[in-house]
Structure 1
Amino acid sequence: MNDEAFRALSNATRRRGLEVLHECDSPIDLDALPDKSGIYEEPSESFEIVLYHNHLPRLDDTGFIDWDREQGTVVKGPRFDEVRPLLNVDEDSDNPNSLSI
């Protein structure tokens, strides 16, 4: 594993966003990301500012996600497989969308 993957996963917001992306095969609408991630019960304007100006650009720059700014969506990037083994997801579950806790 490389340092970029560990840095990306060192933040709870980025880590949970990547876990949500792991569960989805289609683009994720960023308006729905806070609801899907469960990180914040009520997303605030400050959360959106940090998401759009910090977390999404970092993950997009590393290639772990592809962020379509015009459409407001994210999908798995070309380097997503580098972080996949580090995500806290339950690969052996009967439900491929379940997370291990």
Structure 2
Amino acid sequence: MSTTEHSTPDSAGPDAQGDVDEQNELLEKDDIFHILQNQRRRDSLRYLKKADETVRMRDLAEQVAAWEHDTTLQALTSDERQRVYIALYQSHLPKLDEEGIINYNQSRGIVERTEQAAQLDPYLGDSDDDEATDAQSTMLDKRGSYYGGVLGLSTLLLGGAALNLSLLSLLSVAAVGVVALTAFTVLAMDQFGSSE
């Protein structure tokens, strides 16, 4: 008398089916790195992570283009929008959809994250932190250029006054020193006040 044993999820234990499903959904590290090697795909995933809902593909493309060109949505040119839109439409979003990271309805122009996208989140960083870091970096660049400008102008004025050059000879070296010291003090106070 032979009996046929049917394998069911219950016969292998209560968590067996869940383990199989989880293993099927896990991405290999090489796949993760391949997916994230492109900045537009990373930016798309950052945008979708922040949105945490279904978004229009056009909105996604515009934001990725703005990040890529370090500008605002309003300042984007139609060429900048179009280049990013076409690349996302034809290549990057279908690739993410194929990997199961997003659901991309190309005909309706709708994109949404899947649960599988969470595996990539540790590699994306926090978009709020990135934006804060970008803003802070821009502010530091501006301050550096202000300091450089004041230093250059002060050097020019001091050198001209010391060498008795035509217009600059009207200024005393002490007066130029006071102006330069005042300018650096104002910049330092501004920096100290905005860092609090």
**TM-score, normalization by structure 1:** 0.78
Deviation at 1:13, TM superposition (A): 0.5
Counterpart position of 1:61: 98
Counterpart position of 2:39: 12
- Residues 19-52 of structure 1: CA distance to partner in whole angstroms, max 9, x if unpaired? 1111012211111113323224333433322211
Larger deviation, residues 69-78 vs 16-25 = 69-78
- Aligned residue identity for 1:67: Y
Q: How does 1:1-101 map to 2 (within 5 A)?
A: 2-37=29-64, 38-40=67-69, 41-42=76-77, 43-89=80-126, 98-100=128-130, 101=133
Counterpart position of 1:94: none
For the 8 Å contact 1:60–1:77, the answer to whether it is kept is no
For the 8 Å contact 1:62–1:79, the answer to whether it is kept is no
Take 2:129 and 2:45, find their aligned partners in 1: how far apart are those partners?
A: 12
**SS in structure 1 of the partner of residue 58 of structure 2:** coil
Structure richer in strand, relative to its length: 1
For the 8 Å contact 2:101–2:113, the answer to whether it is kept is yes
Cα distance 1:50–1:35, how it changes in 2: closer, same or farther (>3 A)?
Answer: closer
- Residues 40-97 of structure 1: CA distance to partner in whole angstroms, max 9, x if unpaired? 433343332221111011111011111012321111124111111111216xxxxxxx
Larger deviation, residues 73-82 vs 58-67 = 73-82
Take 1:35 and 1:62, find their aligned partners in 2: how far apart are those partners?
A: 23
Structure richer in helix, relative to its length: 2
Q: After TM superposition, which residue ranges in structure 1, 4 or more long, deviate above 4 angstroms?
A: none
Identity across the alignment (%): 26
Q: State the Cα RMSD in Å.
A: 1.9
**TM-score, normalization by structure 2:** 0.43
May I ask how many residue pairs the two structures share in their alignment?
94
Larger deviation, residues 22-31 vs 46-55 = 46-55
Take 1:84 and 1:52, find their aligned partners in 2: how far apart are those partners?
A: 22
For the 8 Å contact 2:62–2:81, the answer to whether it is kept is no
